Structure 1
Amino acid sequence: PPETTKSCKDTNCSQLCVRAGECTCHEGFQLRRDGVTCEDVNECQTGSHNCSSEYVCVNTEGSFYCRFSCRPGFTLTDEVTCKDIDECEFGIHNYGTRCEDVDECQTSEKCGGHVCVNLEGLFRCECRTGFMFNTISKLCSTGFKLTRDGRDCEDIDECEDKPCSQECTNVYGSYQCYCHHGYQLSDNDGITCEDINECALPGVCSHNCINTPGGFNCTCPPGGYTLSPDGRTCQDVDECAAGTHTCSASEICFNLQGEHRCFNFECPTNFRRATSGSTGNSSAVLRCVKSCHLLDLECSHNPTHIITFTVISLQTLQHLKGPEVIALLRTATAVKPANLPDKPDVNFEILDSDEQNSFDVIKDSRDGLIVGLICQVKPILGPKELMLKVVIKYVQLGAVYQQNIMNIHILVL
């Protein structure tokens, strides 16, 4: 500190005296021209303050302080918050009698080539597609890159780097991965294609399914089946119709699902084979007609003219709601009118059946002709083989003048 000498007692220094009565001032003050009076130094005017551009220098006695500055049209409400001044309310405007908003977006380039949105009393900048706000430099958002001149953002073709495991399609600002048929996009990363196990889906193949990368193959049981043109369904091979069966010339071939059976039917005495055949979908048939020797009266008087052997297959039925027609016996006899009792008639009768009497025959008509409906009336559990014998009697005036016998070999599967 300055030392006060005895000579200072004779001075009128307003603040400090040093050496031989010389006056001086405290920091923040300066000596006037009279050499004794100290006055305040205005640091805000001399530029000797250290306030930044966002603050305003405020001078005080012997010092100064920095205050946060608001732009024109706003006032400071606390140390850092600016509030809009309603010049119209306080009558301090210079635009006649009414205040109008200034559209800053029309008067100057406020947003550096981007989108300017005018608001009441101010404006807002919005970035063009591909840009994001950055206070230092232009920065492109994900999926875009700066053009060579650095003034704009352009789309990046990510597909050039082959990010997808199979197919890639570039889209604006991004990309999309796609998979080949039989593959699906992974839920984990969205870029990897995973094989679809079609065999895990219900009903893909009628028999066996083998999964392959990007596809699948259906196979059928060996022998008796072939794969249909749709590549999924196994269809039965009719060995009887195709001539690939193993039956001998004297046997009749009967086709079943996936296989076939050979039956050896023989015509009884006094009957000869008339026709025989094999059908893959319904029945195998052997027809025997009466052939009597000359002067064989017993044979001649036998009313049986035709004996037929056939085979049909039935599926196991555990529950039967009502009679189920399994065969139709046709005749050439017209339905007998009630007022003409002497007209020919036809009756049907079961001669031989299973122990449970699972079948019945019902007389009916089709197109004006008498028919017999052979029906299953009770459930049958397979696999089982049954023999059913049905007689067709042609009657006139109460007497049987002809009858035919139908022998049915039934396969319950």
Structure 2
Amino acid sequence: MIASIVITFLCFCSLSPTFGQDCPSRQELQGSLKQVQKLLSAHEATYMQSLRNLKKKINLLQSSAGKQSTSATNSTCPKLDAPINGKKLGKSHSVGHEVHVLCDPGYELVGSESRVCQESLNWSGHQATCRDINECVSSPCLNAGTCVDEVNQFSCVCAKGWTGATCQSPVPTFFVTMTNTSAATSPATAAAVTLPAATTGPFVRPSRCSIIQGTTHCTCEAGYTISGRDSNTCTDIDECELFHNGQAGKLCLHSCVNTAGGYRCTCPVGYNGTRDGRSCKDIDECATRQNNCANDQMCINTYGGFQCVRVDCPKIPHATYVKTSPMRCERNPCSVDNKACSQTPNSFSYHYLAVVSNLSAPRVMFRVSALRPIGDTLRFSLLGGRQTRRHFTVQRSDRLTGQLMLVSPVQGPATLEADVEMSELERRVQLGKYITKVTMFVSQYEF
């Protein structure tokens, strides 16, 4: 500004000689120019210093943003351990990944079934624990019996004179009354005798008779009864047949084998008997390494057996997928001009459930939730044919969660698959979709 004024004044004096007496001398002009040059130099120095300061601030911001991005990329949530008497599905602890918790049979889940690693590096939901289900709450033992809670079952300690799984049956006591006309004893005296049995063997025992005041009373040991009119012979009671359908159900949950004076319960292959001898419990072939799964396969324990599974990422035209965890595949970035790629699923996640045969329905089998929705709408749908829709449906439990429902019982053994699609929309335009593939292994037996 100052330089332009001086230059304009010099040009005016040179063009108007009549005003020469008013124009400054050459020395005065040189002094003015020097002052202007000093001012310009000072302004230039200040401007350059401001530029240097601005560059430093931009570099600091870029460095800070790079460190935050690297930190967010490399950071993970704290490790989550599987709860006692339960299992944890999912091994990745990176931001955006989720883990699921399943409790062993006989235990109920307390806390969050699914947890997601959030951007704050904290897990969503609450810590999950597996609590023993107290089967004695309903007081299943009858006739003053004492209930003993056990894993996934109960047993009854019966009061004197009662027997059965729930103390529902009186102890069999059989006797006959005979008049002993040849007895020479007085009415006030009694003699105890054991009459010989016609035959003996594991299922036949002699009776025990007592003669009291001329009358003979014959009884059998527990598990036997007097057969017909022959008071001397006790035959075995077939408890499996006699108590096949009592008030509290069968003596054995699976199979009953009659024995001399009693019975025993047997279990199918893949199960062991429980302490009460009545129920069966599953053998975890995966935990006990009683399986033949290959190194590239995962062992999934089922009721009465196990399954070896291998998760392979799907091959879809126009898109490629990479495994980011043992149970999850994510799509590689799409090029800008590849619109077909952007329409394919963003990810596939795989989950395996083990259930008993004839599980009651309707029942929630699995939940799918959005971690941080981008659009304004979430849509949940069930993929698959008639067989899938015969047993499953998808319902929304809240704005961000859909749940896979079992709508009809399934008779085992069977394997069912259901795919749940979650789509993100913004003004009805699809932003992304995610596929959750659920495989359900149904056991042959219902315990």
- TM-score, with structure 2 as normaliser: 0.43
> Whose helix proportion is higher, 1 or 2?
2
The answer to which structure has the higher strand fraction is 1
Q: Which has the higher contact order (CA 8 A, sep 6+)?
A: 2
Report the TM-score when normalising by structure 1.
0.46
The higher radius of gyration belongs to 1
